[in-house]
């Protein structure tokens, strides 16, 4: 199994703390409910941005990085008879 992680908010301590705070708020809300619908919607938007930022420059860069990674994997392991990366497992 292959996973690729992309930092979305940054590696600085304030950004790491911001990520942690958003994850805590989302978890609390999921388990205990939100005070208002507006709070739920705001936290949901922040949480989505953690994993899929709306920034088109970020999205294009990630897609380009994945193209390079996929090409390297296919070159190294081939696609096998089934067309999958089974040799990489």
- Whole-number Cα distances in Å, 62 to 5, 38, 53, 59, 66: 10, 31, 11, 5, 6
Answer whether residue 6 shows pLDDT above 80.
Answer: no
pLDDT tens digits, one per residue of 16-73: 899 999 999 999 999 999 999 999 999 999 999 988 888 999 899 989 998 999 899 8
Question: What is the C-alpha separation between 61 and 83, in angstroms, rounded?
Answer: 26
- Whole-number Cα distances in Å, 43 to 8, 14, 21, 23, 50: 16, 18, 10, 9, 11
pTM: 0.66
- Residue 8 binned pLDDT confidence (cut-offs 50, 70, 90): confident
Quote the pLDDT of residue 12.
Answer: 87
């Amino acid at each position: 199994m292959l996973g690729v992680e992309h930092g979305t908010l940054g590696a600085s301590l304030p950004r790491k703390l911001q990520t942690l705070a958003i994850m805590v708020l989302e978890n609390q809300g999921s388990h205990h409910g939100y005070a208002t619908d507006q709070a739920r919607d705001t936290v949901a938007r922040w949480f989505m941005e953690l994993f899929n930022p709306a920034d088109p420059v970020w999205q294009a860069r990630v897609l380009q990085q994945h193209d390079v990674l996929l090409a390297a994997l296919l070159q190294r392991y081939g696609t096998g008879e089934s067309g999958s990366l089974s040799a990489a497992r």
